[in-house]
Structure 1
Amino acid sequence: MNANKHTMRDKAEQFHQYHVKGKPLVLVNVWDAGSARTIQSTGAAAIATGSWSVAAAHGEQDGEALPFQLVLANLARITKSVDLPVTIDIEGGYGRSASEVKQNVSQIIDHGAVGINIEDQLPAGEGLYTVTEQCLRLSAAREAAEQADIPLFINARTDLFLQQAPEQHNEALLNEAIARSKAYAEAGASGLFVPGLQHPQWIQELCDQSPLPVNVMVTSPEPSPRQLAALGVARISYGPYPYLQVMEHLKALGQRIIMGS
């Protein structure tokens, strides 16, 4: 095993260990090498990209509009710029078939990532893959990791809660998320990502019943990160929020400069 592969294995194993129920890994999502270096300087444990932010930083819309080669090039710059484990949001895997997902995940690993987010939302946001379809895709990602001899952290994202308005969330949706979590775990997933879920009781129920560590995205002041930890969450992320905050600051700065010149 070459030194680089050995280092990647160490980073991947370390990244797995950061996911502790009740003591969550906190990830401030980045979009390029510069933002990754900045977050590394804060004492972060790991680096995570957000697809929305990466796309916006390239002048594109989210939804796999950014060409995959640019995704890879951006990832390579990030992994070369930081010493921390890097996980990348690859949306739906840039391919509908399991074989496409496997090929793309292989390239992601080749470019230095030790973790991925991969979602079960169909391209263009038109519903979800069936459990069977998504399990085949997750298994393909795991096969790619095994062939590369890297214990890739596969964060299986389910868009069940994003596809419905918060006021329409119910026990049936929660039960479907639990069922998907169990199926995704058997298919080789390492974690379950549930963006859009905000109801504290359901977060706790999911954390209690999911065989996978649960990742929640912060979208509002409540529940707070401390509350999420108490509910059993193992990973907290911020999605597009850091990018949006930075761009608001840049806009305000620009306005002050232009108006004052």
Structure 2
Amino acid sequence: MAVSTKDKRAAFHKLHDSGCFVLPNPWDVGSARALAQLGFKALASTSAGYAWTIGRADTRVTIDDVCEHLTALCKAVDLPVNADFEGGFAREPEKVAVNVARGVATGVAGLSIEDSTGDKADPLFERGLAIERIKAARAAIDADNSGALLVGRCEAFLWGITDLALVIDRLNAYAEAGADCLYSPGIKSKEHIAAVVKAVHPKPVNLLIGSSGLSVAEAADLGVRRISVGGSLARVAWAGFMKASREIAEQGTFTELGNGFPGGELNKMFSD
């Protein structure tokens, strides 16, 4: 029997109480089901990974696209799914609230709201507005007592603003505004990670690991509560696809096709 949305959300909150867990990022139903069979306790969507599956660049998808995608992911697995909900697909807090309500209705166990504007000249929303956007998301989640978890994201490091004091200030403000978990993608050094964990304690911290770096054990030692990988798994899949495709197009040979995952094993994995 399928796990209810209520139970998924309760399980997701409990995962944040102690320890450190990985929620890898599938980009479609097949990758979500594969990851679920590998024993992970939760999953997270990836805005970039999903966008590439429909031939678009990251941040170039609509809320309609994303809600349809999230609904499919949540129905495909019995695990909690955390949504990469970008910036709420709106600037104004009241519109963010409307969109967050739509996101929660897909069945996700949690979702994140970013503070980036997408404008290189002015990459972060003004602090007060960014806080109001988190408050609006919190209110939308609480309106029907959904129990969905809210993640507040400060995108400063991803936009080249390597001001740790600014990041910590914003994350604490987002926590006060109602965020259950804090996240600043782009921080990598042990010193920065430990500083963020300490500053927002007892709120849990999500760490993005997109390539070689810390292990799960090392991140746990720093106090990180959860780890996600963003679009990295999707990029790995695309790497194999592009390498094989370029070989065919440029050399007329098919050697790389021999490195594919066995079709029989894929059929067996998806046979239920």
TM-score by length of 1: 0.89
Deviations 1:140-195 (A, max 9, x none): 11111111211211111111111227xxx4xxx22222211221111110111111
Q: Secondary structure at the match of 1:188?
A: coil
Counterpart among 144, 149, 172 of residue 148 in structure 1: 144
Long gaps (5+) in structure 2: 256-272
Which deviates the most, 30-39 or 91-100? 30-39
Q: Secondary structure at the match of 1:88?
A: strand
Which deviates the most, 95-104 or 207-216? 207-216
Cα distance in 2, alignment partners of residues 253 and 123 from structure 1: 33
Counterpart among 76, 88, 96 of residue 101 in structure 1: 96
Cα distance in 1, alignment partners of residues 186 and 194 from structure 2: 14
Aligned to 2:15: 18
Alpha-carbon RMSD across the aligned residues, in angstroms, is: 2.0
Aligned to 1:110: 105
Residue 70 to residue 227, structure 1, CA distance change in 2 (3 Å): same
Which deviates the most, 76-85 or 245-254? 245-254
Whether 2:188 is the aligned partner of 1:198: answer yes
Displacement of 1:256 in angstroms is: 6.6
Aligned to 1:189: 179
Are the equivalent residues in 2 in contact too, given 1:114–1:150 (CA < 8 A)?
no
Instruction: Report the residue type matching 1:259 in the other structure.
Output: T
How many matched pairs?
249
Aligned to 1:233: 224
Cα distance in 2, alignment partners of residues 252 and 20 from structure 1: 42
Aligned to 1:248: 239
Deviations 1:52-76 (A, max 9, x none): 111111111112x112111111111
Long gaps (5+) in structure 1: none
TM-score by length of 2: 0.85
Instruction: Report the residue type matching 1:123 in the other structure.
Output: G
Displacement of 1:254 in angstroms is: 4.3
Cα distance in 1, alignment partners of residues 22 and 34 from structure 2: 15
Are the equivalent residues in 2 in contact too, given 1:30–1:242 (CA < 8 A)?
yes
Aligned to 2:79: 84
Decide which structure has the larger Cα Rg and report it: 2
Cα distance in 1, alignment partners of residues 135 and 114 from structure 2: 13
Aligned to 2:253: 259
Displacement of 1:34 in angstroms is: 1.4
Q: Secondary structure at the match of 1:148?
A: coil
Alignment of 1:209-228 (within 5 A): 209-211=199-201, 212-228=203-219
Whether 2:124 is the aligned partner of 1:134: answer no
Aligned to 2:260: none
Considering Cα pairs closer than 8 Å and 6+ residues apart, tell me whether 1 or 2 has the greater RCO.
1
Are the equivalent residues in 2 in contact too, given 1:121–1:127 (CA < 8 A)?
yes
Whether 2:155 is the aligned partner of 1:159: answer yes
Cα distance in 2, alignment partners of residues 91 and 106 from structure 1: 14
Q: Secondary structure at the match of 2:150?
A: strand
Counterpart among 4, 9, 26 of residue 7 in structure 1: 4
